[in-house]
Amino acid sequence: MREIVIGGAQMGPIQKADSRAAVVARMIALLDRGADGGCDLVVFPELCLTTFFPRWMMEDQAEVDRWFEREMPNGATEPLFARARERGIAISFGYAELTPEGRHFNTSILTDRTGAIVGKYRKVHLPGHAEYDPDRAFQHLEKRYFEPGDLGFRVWRNMDAWMGMCICNDRRWPETYRVMGLQGAELITLGYNTPSVNSQMSDEGPEQRLYHSELSMKAGAYQNSAWVVGVAKAGDEDGHPLLGGSVIVDPNGFVVARAETEADELIVHACDMDACTFGKETIFDFKRHRRIEHYGRICSQTGVEHPGD
């Protein structure tokens, strides 16, 4: 048995005016709750140090860059790293990264129990648009503020398990999970900021969006025989509602823990990494069953091409 007690630290809304210090204090409170409950690893959401700023149109790059972190840890997040170190807990969280070369990424990191960063991921599938779109009920400008991640979908050996990360919209793409599955991923963690209503279709509300969110994570877990931990930033941010529904999904695709609120809430489950083995050695034994001679289109084509086009 290789048991890792995992806490999914869902966060309630962060308003535009909230300071990073106030947010980090909330993260430390969730971390302490996790430590008291025996957690080995606590996972926080996407872009969890600030409000979901890509909903706001900004023209001034200096204004944009205020939402980004130039180093990690930094002054604002060092207290979180220190508490994680002190309590011997690994953490993962998402933030907006501004590199020394001036590049902008939607990033997440993974630490070990000493607070050392062992993994970094930069979001590959950026949803939304780059220019102001008057036809949407609200903006989703990730394509304006970030460039697509350049690190691929890697996995790391951490706490005696193979761990990988993705971020929000990545969870809807089977390729995300499979690339990590092909590296033996046993645990995939992710954070998300998902508006409760589709900005381009107002009758697609929270019920349908929760269904799709969970469906994607269950499928990714089952088809790769891996644990998936998906953690929301939820609730009403300056009048813009975000979904909750954080879940821990087992390698059979069953939800074993689910958040009930849209506030700061910790979900916990003792995840046995050995539970991945059966599926990986039977129905999803990739080496025996995959037929790569038929998968070429996945890597050579992005959009749909009908035969004869």
- Binding stretches for ligand CDV (CB under 6 A): 46, 127-128, 140, 168-169, 172, 192-194
Least distance CB 241 / ligand CDV (angstroms): 13
Residue type, 130: A
Residue 260 Cβ vs ligand CDV, minimum distance, rounded to whole Å = 20
> By C-beta, is 176 or 224 nearer to ligand CDV?
176
Alpha-carbon distance of 252 to 290, in angstroms, equals: 19
* CA–CA dist 123, 156 (Å, integer): 17
Judged by beta carbon, residue 67 or residue 162, the one nearer ligand CDV is 67
Strand pairing category for 247-249 and 255-258: antiparallel
Of 168, 233, 237, 271, the active-site residue reads 168
84 contacts 31 by C-beta, under 8 angstroms: yes
Toward ligand CDV, which CB reaches closer, 168 or 180? 168
The residue from 48, 123, 186, 233 that is catalytic is: 123
What contacts 307, CB < 8 A, 6 or more positions away? none
Closest CA to 108 of 28, 17, 45: 45
Q: Is 299 a catalytic residue?
A: no
Identify the burial level of 223 via C-beta atoms within 10 angstroms of its C-beta, where 0-12 means exposed, 13-18 middle and 19 or more buried.
Answer: middle
The span from the first CA to the last CA of the chain, in angstroms, equals 53
Among the options 46, 142, 186, 265, which is catalytic?
46
> To the nearest 10°, the Cα dihedral for 84, 87, 91, 97?
0
Task: Using the minimum distance from each CB to ligand CDV, give the nearer residue, 300 or 302.
Answer: 302
* Angle, CA of 57, 195 and 254, to the nearest 5°: 145
Report in angstroms how near the CB of residue 167 gets to ligand CDV at its nearest: 7
9: nearest Cα among 84, 119, 116, 96: 84
State the minimum distance, in angstroms, from the CB of residue 19 to ligand CDV. Answer: 22
The verdict on whether 168 is a catalytic residue reads yes
Tokens of 270: 């003792």
Q: Give backbone dihedrals phi and psi of 229, rounded to 5 degrees, phi first.
A: -120, 115
When the beta carbons of 193 and 225 are compared against ligand CDV, the nearer one is: 193
Smaller CB separation from ligand CDV, 52 or 162: 52
Query: Measured from the CB of residue 28, what is the shortest distance to ligand CDV in angstroms?
Result: 24
Give min distance, CB of 168 to ligand CDV, in A: 3
Q: Which residues are marked as active site?
A: 46, 123, 168
